[in-house]
Structure 1
Amino acid sequence: MRTRAGHFFYAMTDFLKPHLTIDEQINLLEARGLIINDKKQARDYLSMICYFRLIPYQRDLQDNQSADHSFFDGITTDNIFQIYFFDRELRLLIFDMIEHFEVAFRTQLSYHYSVDELPFSNGAGRRWWFEDPKNFKERKIFNQNLRTIDEEIERAKKESIIRHYHSKYTIPKRPPSWITFEVISLGLLSKIFRLLKLSEAKKTITKNFNLYSPDLLESWLHTLTYVRNICAHHGRLWNRTMKVRPQVLTKPQDIWISDNNVSLDKIYISLCCGLYLLRVIDPKTKFVAKFNAIVEKYPEVDLAYMGFPIDWRDEPFWNEDARVL
C-alpha cells in the first residue's frame, strides 16, 4: 500500500503457520519436488538440525518465483546436506584461523603500547596506556570503551589471571594491558585500535603484520571480528552477503591474489585477508591443505556462491606451499 507521502508499507499479519513434525517436514519437501535419497537419514538429520536452519542452504536450489518455492528438477537431500556440512567444516577452519590472528594481535597491541614511547613519561603509565585519553581520537568513544572494558573485566572475574590480580593488588583497579587485553573481546580490541591516534606503536604493529597502512589493519581487524562472530554463533558463510567489507590490499608486502577485482561482500576476500595474516604469524600453516581437503570432500558445492573466482586454484596465493617473502 502507498501512503500519501508516496512511501510503501506492508501490512503486518499474525503468524499462523503450524509446527511441523519431522515426517511432515519431509512430506513438505517432497511436495516441493525435493528427492529424498534416504528417508531414515533425512529424519536423523532433521532431528538434530532445525528445518528452519536449513532454509538458507536451499534457496538457490529452488524456484523462488513459484508460489510454493518448488525445487529445481533433480535436486536431492544430498545436495542440501553437502552444502550444510561443507559450511560447517569451513566455519570451524576459519574460526581456528582467526583465533591464531586474535592471539597474535592481542600480544602485539598490549606489548608495543606498553614498551614504546607514548605521550607520558613514566613507565607505570605505559602499563595502563589504554586509560589515557591523550592516546585516543575521541573522548566520548574513549569513555564508552573504558566502561565496556570494566564490564568485560567484571564478566571475567573468575578467570585465574583476573582473580590473581585482584587478590594481590588493590590499585590500580584495572589490571595492566597485558592482563586486561587477554579477557576483553576481539570486537572491543578492534574499537580500541581504530580509536588510537597514529603513533610509532601503531605503525610498528601494522608493519609486523606485513601491512603498509594502519587504516588497512583497522579494516581487516573489523572484518575478521565480524567473520569470527558469525563463526562463533554458528552462522552461515556459504552464499552470505557480508555486511562488513575489507579494504583491498593494493600494495602487498607479501604474496597476495593477483586480481583484486572480486566481490567484497562475499567470504572469499575476507578469507584471503585472514590467510595473508596467518602466513605472517605461522609461515608453515597447513590452512590451504585443510581447505582443499574440505573442498574435495564436498565436490558438489559451488564456491562461486562465496565469491571465489573460477581460476582461484591457479592463484599462487592459494598454493599449499606458498610462504611469506
Structure 2
Amino acid sequence: MGKKATTIDVQIAKLRSRGMILDLDIEKIKEHLLDIGYYRLGFYWYPFEVDAKHNFEIGTKFSTVIDLYYLDVDLRYILIKYINRLELNFRTNLIYWVSTNYDNNPIWYTDNTIMSFAYLKDIKSHYNNNFKKKNLLINKHHVNNPLDKYAPCWKTFEYYTFGSIVKVYENIIDDEVRKLVSTQYNIKKPVKLQNILDTLVFVRNSCAHSGVIYDLHIDEGVVEMPSYKFNNDYSHSLDAAIKALLYVMEYISLDRKKELEIKLDKLFNKFKANQTIKTIIEDKLGYVYSC
C-alpha cells in the first residue's frame, strides 16, 4: 500500500522540517495547499530540493514556489491562445491546398489513393452515426444528402481536433501534395512541418490539461529552423517549442508573432527582480533578459 493521505497541518509541518521558509500568512498557505494541492505543488518546489529526502536548498521560500506555479499558469494561457491561432490557419491551408489539388473529390480524406491504409482503417470508427448526430452541420449535411457517406472535408474538419487534423496531413500519401501546405510556412520538407505540428499539438494538449509547462520535455525534439537557436542547443524543451511556434507564426501573421513576443516579454519580466525565478526562466526557457 502507498503512503496515506495527510492533513494540511501535517503537510505544513513537513515543508517546515525540510527547510522551506513559510513566508506567507499561515492561512494563505493553507488556502494554496487546499486550492492547488500538496502533490501538484511538488512539481514547483522540486527544483529547490537538494537530496533524496526532499530537503530544500537553504533560503527556499514558499512564496517563490507559488510564483513559479503562477508563471506556469500564465504561460499556459498565452501559449494555448497562439497555438489555437495556428490550428485554425493550418486547418484552412490543409483544406484549401489539398482540396484544390483534388478538385473533383471533396471527400479526398476517405480516398485510398490519397490517404494511407493506416489512416483509413480507423475512419469508420471515428466517422460514425454518433459523429454525424452530435455535430450540427454534419448532421444537417446528411439529412439534406442522405446518399452521402461522408461530408466534404471543409465541413468535417471543423469538428476535428488539432491532433486529428495533423494526423490527416501526416497520412497523405503524396509528399508533393503535403509540400503544398508546408511551403505556406516557408518549410520545404513536409516532415519538418510534421515535427513542428506534432510538437505544438503536444504542448497544446499539455496546456489544455493543466500540465506542468515550464519543465516540459519533448521526446522527439524540435527540428532546426532558420534564425532560431535553441537554448544550450537543446531541442527537447519548451524553449524549442516556443521558437517553433514563433517561426510558423511569422508566416501566419507578423502582428500576431509580435504580439506573442510582447506577451512573453511582459510575463518573464515580471520576475526579473526575483533572481531564483529569473534563473529558472533563463535555464529552462532560454529567455535572454535585456540589461
- Please report the TM-score for the alignment, with normalisation by the length of structure 2: 0.89
Deviations 1:176-209 (CA, angstroms, capped at 9, x unpaired): 1001111112222222211212354422211111
- Indicate the residue corresponding to 2:16 in structure 1: 30
SS at match of 2:199: helix
Distance 1:149 1:247 in 2: 31
Sequence identity, in percent?
24
- Indicate the residue corresponding to 1:190 in structure 2: 166
- Indicate the residue corresponding to 1:5 in structure 2: none
Distance 2:39 2:131 in 1: 33
Q: Establish whether residue 59 from structure 1 lines up as the match of residue 46 from structure 2.
A: yes
Deviation at 1:45, TM superposition (A): 1.2
- CA 1:235–1:283: 2 relative to 1, 3 Å: same
Q: 2:58 aligns with which of 73, 83, 87?
A: 73
Deviation at 1:29, TM superposition (A): 0.8
- Indicate the residue corresponding to 1:48 in structure 2: 35
Distance 1:33 1:260 in 2: 32
- Contact kept? 1:83, 1:298, Cα under 8 Å: no
1:105-254 alignment runs, 5 A limit? 105-116=90-101, 118=102, 123=104, 126-136=105-115, 138-139=116-117, 141-147=118-124, 149-150=126-127, 154-155=130-131, 157-249=133-225, 252=226
Deviation at 1:306, TM superposition (A): 2.1
- CA 1:265–1:258: 2 relative to 1, 3 Å: closer
Amino acid at match of 2:113: K
- Indicate the residue corresponding to 1:291 in structure 2: 264
- CA 1:64–1:156: 2 relative to 1, 3 Å: farther
Deviations 1:54-76 (CA, angstroms, capped at 9, x unpaired): 111111101123xx311111101
Deviation at 1:93, TM superposition (A): 0.6
Distance 2:123 2:243 in 1: 32
- CA 1:173–1:240: 2 relative to 1, 3 Å: same
Amino acid at match of 2:51: N
Distance 1:148 1:296 in 2: 48
Amino acid at match of 2:143: S
- CA 1:51–1:258: 2 relative to 1, 3 Å: closer
Q: Establish whether residue 306 from structure 1 lines up as the match of residue 284 from structure 2.
A: yes
Q: Establish whether residue 271 from structure 1 lines up as the match of residue 271 from structure 2.
A: no
- Contact kept? 2:94, 2:181, Cα under 8 Å: yes
Deviation at 1:297, TM superposition (A): 1.8
Q: Establish whether residue 18 from structure 1 lines up as the match of residue 9 from structure 2.
A: no
- CA 1:263–1:58: 2 relative to 1, 3 Å: same
Distance 2:90 2:152 in 1: 16
Distance 2:164 2:267 in 1: 32
| Pairwise CA RMSD | 2.1
Larger helix percent = 2
- Indicate the residue corresponding to 1:318 in structure 2: none
Distance 1:100 1:163 in 2: 26
Q: Decide which moves more: 73-82 or 190-199.
A: 190-199
Deviation at 1:289, TM superposition (A): 0.8
- CA 1:166–1:56: 2 relative to 1, 3 Å: same
- Indicate the residue corresponding to 1:94 in structure 2: 79
Deviation at 1:143, TM superposition (A): 2.3
Deviation at 1:148, TM superposition (A): 5.2
Deviations 1:268-323 (CA, angstroms, capped at 9, x unpaired): 011100111112212112111111111122333222442416xx457xxxxxxxxx
Deviation at 1:159, TM superposition (A): 3.2
Distance 2:223 2:230 in 1: 14
The number of residue pairs the alignment matches comes to 282
- Contact kept? 1:149, 1:184, Cα under 8 Å: no
SS at match of 1:112: helix
Distance 2:132 2:9 in 1: 45
Deviations 1:208-239 (CA, angstroms, capped at 9, x unpaired): 11212111111111111111111111001112
SS at match of 1:134: coil
- Please report the TM-score for the alignment, with normalisation by the length of structure 1: 0.80
Distance 1:26 1:156 in 2: 52
